[in-house]
């Protein structure tokens, strides 16, 4: 009888140990996040630091699992995967953000709209609450905002001095971008190719793409910079992004977990990225100017671009952007 009791006690203890271990394992909440950023890029390094901060703050109960370098697909697909539950969140650019149905966010990347980062920051801060509500109405929570860089026009084997220089060139635009097709159509004589981000490097290599408008830092990190030969110094637009999450998934988390991914560590990461990305983008631009053929537009050429930018912006008002939101962003930019 004693032997039986001893065996029973051992079995019960084993079951208890197993149950505790299983409960502990189940306590970890894993949040799957898609991104185009390479793991060792400036964005990737900050995301990994953010992951550690969240884990520390939640005693390991929340783990962030990134699918780096477009492993989850392009940004439009990432948004679809969040809707279907295959992803929980994504760190994406304005093009991806527009794919949520909040198309007005792409207005921050209208060509020639903002003269500098300070004006963009002021406008984004002023619109942040309204945009947050718009994303929530589409089923998404904005965890935090970020930047991509100051976009320049780069080319392979020729200079882009004025809009007409793009005619008959191998231009492209990212799937989901509503601005670039209108931009190319207004210039005329261009048959742009719709591409996904992972296709651009191959396109630059085989010659099917020979023009880019992108931030120098992004061009370096995605290995595009080594393929281009010329760069125009004019800033066409400022690229922004954000980390978004399924609203249902976010609301299902305990309050402590929500605070960890959307408050303290997230705000700290935003502040670090805002400073570092802009500085690193400027440094990347300086490196490209030292190794590429550089062209500074004349006043007459700048006037041509300015007129084109204004026309494209106005044509997109109402046809793509909500007039009231568009007008407010334009007013804030000025």
User: CA nearest 281: which of 95, 139, 152?
Assistant: 152
Burial class (CB in 10 A: 0-12, 13-18, 19+), 142: buried
**What pLDDT is attached to residue 10?**
40
- The answer to whether the beta carbons of residues 142 and 135 sit under 8 Å apart is yes
- The answer to whether the beta carbons of residues 232 and 214 sit under 8 Å apart is no
Backbone angles phi, psi at 177, to 5 degrees: -85, 120
**What pLDDT is attached to residue 27?**
59
Residue 191, CA distances (Å) to 34, 162, 182 in order: 31, 18, 12
pLDDT profile of the chain (334 residues), mean per 10:
43 39 56 94 93 92 94 94 97 96 96 96 95 97 95 97 98 94 97 93 97 96 96 97 96 91 86 91 97 97 98 96 96 94
Counted residue by residue, the chain has a size of 334
**Which residue intervals of 188-263 are DSSP H helices?**
197-206, 216-221, 247-252, 255-262
Domains of the chain (ranges, CATH numbers): 28-333 (3.40.190.170)
What is the model's pTM?
0.87
- The answer to whether the beta carbons of residues 20 and 51 sit under 8 Å apart is no
Structure tokens at 164: 């007409």
Residue 10 DSSP one-character state:
H
3-state helix, strand, coil in the chain (%, to 5): 55, 20, 25
């Amino acid at each position: 009888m004693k032997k039986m009791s001893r065996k029973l006690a051992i079995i019960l203890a084993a079951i208890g140990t197993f149950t505790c271990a299983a409960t502990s394992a189940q306590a970890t909440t894993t949040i799957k996040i898609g991104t185009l950023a390479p793991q060792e890029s400036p964005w990737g390094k900050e995301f990994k630091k953010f992951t550690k901060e969240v884990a520390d703050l939640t005693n390991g109960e929340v783990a962030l699992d990134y699918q780096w370098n477009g492993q989850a697909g392009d940004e439009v697909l990432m948004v679809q995967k969040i809707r279907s539950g295959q992803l929980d969140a994504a760190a994406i650019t304005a093009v991806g953000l527009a794919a949520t149905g909040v198309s007005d966010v792409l207005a921050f990347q209208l060509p020639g709209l903002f003269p500098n980062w300070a004006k963009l920051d002021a406008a984004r801060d002023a619109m942040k609450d309204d945009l947050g509500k718009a994303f929530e109405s589409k089923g998404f929570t904005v965890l935090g905002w970020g930047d991509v860089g100051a976009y320049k026009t780069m080319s392979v084997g020729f200079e882009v001095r004025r809009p007409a220089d793009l005619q008959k060139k191998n231009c492209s635009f990212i799937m989901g971008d509503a601005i670039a097709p209108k931009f190319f159509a207004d210039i005329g004589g261009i048959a742009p190719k719709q591409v996904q981000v992972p296709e651009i490097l191959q396109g630059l290599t085989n010659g099917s793409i020979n023009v880019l408008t992108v931030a120098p830092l992004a061009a370096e990190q995605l290995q595009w910079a080594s393929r281009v030969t010329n760069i125009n110094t004019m800033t066409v637009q400022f690229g922004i992004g954000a980390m978004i999450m399924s609203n249902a998934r976010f609301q299902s988390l305990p309050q402590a977990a929500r605070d960890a991914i959307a408050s303290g560590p997230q705000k700290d990461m935003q502040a670090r990225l805002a400073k570092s990305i802009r500085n690193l983008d400027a440094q990347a631009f300086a490196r490209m100017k030292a190794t590429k053929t550089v062209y500074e537009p004349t006043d007459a050429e700048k006037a041509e671009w300015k007129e084109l930018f204004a026309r494209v912006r106005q044509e997109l008002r109402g046809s793509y952007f909500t007039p009231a939101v568009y007008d407010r962003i334009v007013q804030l930019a000025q």
